[in-house]
Amino acid sequence: MIEYIKGEVMTLTPTNVVLENQGLAYFINISLNTFTNIQALKTCKLYIHEAIREDAYVLYGFSTQSERITFQQLIGVSGVGANTARMILSSLSVTELDTCILSDDVDVLKAVKGIGLKTAQRIIVDLKDKIGKADVAASETMAIGSKNCLVRDEAVAALQMLGFAQYPSIKVVNKILLDYPDLPVEQVIKATLKLL
């Protein structure tokens, strides 16, 4: 599984980028927001979402982890495919989309090309709880400080591989790191398993 690709920007358009890394060139689909963030760069790092189908292996790249998480949440909504999710993230920033979902603003979502009333309503209903949890997790992450972010990220990744959901894991790991900031990753995972 590819977490991110860091490389030299070979070609760049508002919808895709070719990054070269150690002799391999990756064709990566991007949103307009990511295009804006990387257009002046000679090298960049993109967080990757892989879509593996019978007939294609497609990479989607994002300049921030929050945009990738939002993209993955969007494609988890019934009736929203990768291209529709990318269109939404090209029309709205992550913050604008979060605000729109939390305030039940169907009209803003309907203004995005290809989004009808039912799809807009489904996105709001399906993602409202997830967005709220993500905001709480983000504020807790700021409280633990950058020193423990690496420990937190490794612990959460390990817990996800064990089958635990991301947001409950982040919440518990953050709580443990606030109480015991010097715990190594293994101890954090063990402590979290007792609480999940």
Task: Specify the CATH number of the domain 4-62.
Answer: 2.40.50.140
Could you give the CA distance from residue 179 to residue 170 in angstroms, rounded to a whole number? 14
Q: Mean pLDDT lowest for which of 28-32, 77-81, 103-107, 131-135?
A: 131-135
Report the C-alpha gap between 58 and 40 in whole angstroms: 24
What residues does each domain of the chain span? 4-62, 67-139, 145-195
- pLDDT of residue 25 exceeding 70, the answer is yes
User: Where do runs of H (alpha helix) occur along the chain?
Assistant: 32-38, 65-75, 82-91, 94-102, 106-110, 117-144, 149-161, 166-179, 185-195
Which H helix or E strand runs over 57? strand 57-62
Q: pTM of the predicted model, to two decimals?
A: 0.69
Given a cut of 60, whether residue 119 has pLDDT beyond it is: yes
Paired strand residues for 25: 20
Confidence of residue 164 (pLDDT cuts 50, 70, 90): confident
Give Cα separations from 61 to 101, 107, 130, 137, 188 (angstroms): 23, 27, 22, 23, 30
Integer CA distances (angstroms), 81 to 92, 104, 114, in order: 17, 21, 11
pLDDT digits (tens, 9 = 90+) for 54-105: 898 999 999 998 899 899 999 999 989 999 999 999 999 988 998 889 888 9
Judged against a pLDDT cut of 70, whether residue 138 lies above it is answered with no
Most trustworthy range by pLDDT among 52-61, 135-144, 178-187 = 52-61
How far apart are the C-alpha atoms of 34 and 14, rounded to whole Å? 9
Q: Is the pLDDT of residue 139 over 80?
A: no
* pLDDT computed for residue 4 by the predictor: 93
CATH topology of domain 145-195: Helicase, Ruva Protein; domain 3 (1.10.8)
Q: Is the pLDDT of residue 46 over 60?
A: yes
- CATH for the 67-139 domain, from 3.40.1000.10, 1.10.150.20, 3.90.220.20, 3.30.360.10: 1.10.150.20
The confidence score (pLDDT) of residue 158 equals 87
